[in-house]
Homo-oligomer: A and B are copies of this chain.
Protein backbone atom coordinates (compact mmCIF):
# COMPACT_ATOMS: atom_id res chain seq x y z
CA UNK A 1 0.00 0.00 0.00
CA UNK A 2 1.45 3.38 -0.93
CA UNK A 3 2.65 5.42 2.02
CA UNK A 4 1.28 8.84 2.92
CA UNK A 5 4.58 10.32 1.77
CA UNK A 6 4.24 8.62 -1.61
CA UNK A 7 0.65 9.84 -1.92
CA UNK A 8 1.81 13.34 -1.08
CA UNK A 9 4.44 13.19 -3.83
CA UNK A 10 1.87 11.88 -6.30
CA UNK A 11 -0.46 14.76 -5.42
CA UNK A 12 2.39 17.23 -5.83
CA UNK A 13 3.15 15.86 -9.28
CA UNK A 14 -0.49 16.16 -10.33
CA UNK A 15 -0.49 19.86 -9.46
CA UNK A 16 2.66 20.48 -11.45
CA UNK A 17 1.49 18.68 -14.56
CA UNK A 18 -1.88 20.43 -14.30
CA UNK A 19 -0.42 23.90 -14.01
CA UNK A 20 2.00 23.38 -16.83
CA UNK A 21 -0.33 21.88 -19.39
CA UNK A 22 -3.34 24.02 -18.54
CA UNK A 23 -1.45 27.24 -19.16
CA UNK A 24 1.28 26.34 -21.69
CA UNK A 25 0.56 28.23 -24.88
CA UNK A 26 -1.15 31.20 -23.21
CA UNK A 27 -0.29 34.48 -24.94
CA UNK A 28 1.92 36.42 -22.53
CA UNK A 29 3.74 39.77 -22.51
CA UNK A 30 5.37 41.73 -19.70
CA UNK A 31 2.09 43.66 -19.38
CA UNK A 32 -0.05 40.57 -18.88
CA UNK A 33 2.43 38.49 -16.88
CA UNK A 34 1.28 39.65 -13.44
CA UNK A 35 -2.36 38.70 -13.91
CA UNK A 36 -1.38 35.36 -15.41
CA UNK A 37 0.91 34.54 -12.48
CA UNK A 38 -1.90 35.30 -10.08
CA UNK A 39 -4.53 33.30 -11.96
CA UNK A 40 -2.26 30.27 -12.31
CA UNK A 41 -1.56 30.22 -8.58
CA UNK A 42 -5.21 30.77 -7.60
CA UNK A 43 -6.45 28.10 -10.02
CA UNK A 44 -4.11 25.36 -8.87
CA UNK A 45 -4.59 26.20 -5.19
CA UNK A 46 -8.19 25.04 -5.72
CA UNK A 47 -6.95 21.48 -6.18
CA UNK A 48 -7.06 19.05 -3.25
CA UNK A 49 -4.14 19.08 -0.80
CA UNK A 50 -2.55 22.13 -2.43
CA UNK A 51 -1.48 24.63 0.19
CA UNK A 52 0.36 27.26 -1.82
CA UNK A 53 1.54 28.00 -5.35
CA UNK A 54 3.88 30.78 -6.45
CA UNK A 55 4.46 31.54 -10.12
CA UNK A 56 7.08 34.03 -11.30
CA UNK A 57 7.11 34.82 -15.00
CA UNK A 58 10.50 36.10 -16.10
CA UNK A 59 9.81 39.31 -18.03
CA UNK A 60 13.26 39.38 -19.61
CA UNK A 61 12.83 35.84 -20.87
CA UNK A 62 9.39 36.82 -22.23
CA UNK A 63 10.89 39.78 -24.09
CA UNK A 64 13.54 37.52 -25.62
CA UNK A 65 10.95 34.94 -26.61
CA UNK A 66 8.99 37.56 -28.57
CA UNK A 67 10.59 36.83 -31.91
CA UNK A 68 8.01 38.40 -34.17
CA UNK A 69 6.14 41.66 -34.59
CA UNK A 70 3.08 40.75 -32.57
CA UNK A 71 4.44 41.74 -29.20
CA UNK A 72 3.73 38.59 -27.24
CA UNK A 73 5.09 35.11 -26.61
CA UNK A 74 3.41 31.82 -25.77
CA UNK A 75 3.94 30.61 -22.24
CA UNK A 76 6.36 27.70 -21.80
CA UNK A 77 8.38 26.40 -18.90
CA UNK A 78 11.32 28.42 -20.18
CA UNK A 79 9.59 31.61 -19.11
CA UNK A 80 8.69 30.92 -15.49
CA UNK A 81 9.70 29.57 -12.10
CA UNK A 82 7.07 27.78 -10.02
CA UNK A 83 7.08 26.72 -6.38
CA UNK A 84 4.39 24.68 -4.64
CA UNK A 85 3.63 23.23 -1.25
CA UNK A 86 1.34 20.22 -1.01
CA UNK A 87 0.19 18.58 2.21
CA UNK A 88 -1.32 15.10 2.39
CA UNK A 89 -2.23 13.86 5.87
CA UNK A 90 0.85 14.68 7.92
CA UNK A 91 3.29 14.93 5.02
CA UNK A 92 4.36 18.22 3.44
CA UNK A 93 6.01 18.20 0.02
CA UNK A 94 7.76 21.21 -1.47
CA UNK A 95 8.38 21.27 -5.23
CA UNK A 96 10.01 23.63 -7.67
CA UNK A 97 10.26 24.06 -11.43
CA UNK A 98 13.11 26.08 -12.87
CA UNK A 99 15.40 25.97 -15.89
CA UNK A 100 18.19 23.42 -15.72
CA UNK A 101 20.41 22.70 -18.73
CA UNK A 102 17.87 24.22 -21.06
CA UNK A 103 14.96 22.16 -19.82
CA UNK A 104 12.29 23.28 -17.35
CA UNK A 105 12.84 20.67 -14.66
CA UNK A 106 10.23 19.88 -12.02
CA UNK A 107 11.81 18.80 -8.74
CA UNK A 108 10.86 17.48 -5.36
CA UNK A 109 12.64 19.85 -2.98
CA UNK A 110 11.76 18.03 0.21
CA UNK A 111 9.27 15.66 1.79
CA UNK A 112 8.63 16.19 5.48
CA UNK A 113 6.49 13.99 7.72
CA UNK A 114 5.41 15.90 10.82
CA UNK A 115 4.80 12.65 12.66
CA UNK A 116 1.03 12.55 12.21
CA UNK A 117 1.02 10.49 9.03
CA UNK A 118 0.01 6.85 9.17
CA UNK A 119 3.42 5.82 7.82
CA UNK A 120 5.23 3.74 10.42
CA UNK A 121 8.72 4.31 9.13
CA UNK A 122 10.02 7.82 9.28
CA UNK A 123 13.33 7.12 7.59
CA UNK A 124 12.63 7.03 3.91
CA UNK A 125 9.88 9.61 4.10
CA UNK A 126 11.75 12.31 5.93
CA UNK A 127 13.31 14.62 3.43
CA UNK A 128 14.12 17.33 5.90
CA UNK A 129 17.82 16.81 5.33
CA UNK A 130 17.64 18.67 2.05
CA UNK A 131 16.76 18.78 -1.60
CA UNK A 132 17.11 15.97 -4.10
CA UNK A 133 20.55 15.45 -5.57
CA UNK A 134 20.02 17.23 -8.81
CA UNK A 135 18.30 20.21 -7.31
CA UNK A 136 20.79 23.00 -6.83
Contacts and interface: CB of A to CB of B under 8 A. Distances in A.
Interface in A21-39: 21-29, 31-32, 35-36, 38-39
A64 interface: no
A46 B27 contact: yes
Assembly stoichiometry (copies): 4
B9 A68 contact: no
Given A5-B6, A13-B9, A25-B21, A70 B43 contact: no
Given A10-B10, A10-B12, A36-B43, 10 more contacts: A1-B129, A1-B133, A2-B9, A5-B124, A10-B13, A13-B13, A13-B16, A25-B25, A32-B39, A35-B35
Interface of A: 1-3, 5-7, 9-29, 31-32, 35-36, 38-40, 42-48, 67-72, 74, 76, 93, 95, 101-103, 106, 108, 110-111, 119-121, 123-125, 127, 129-133
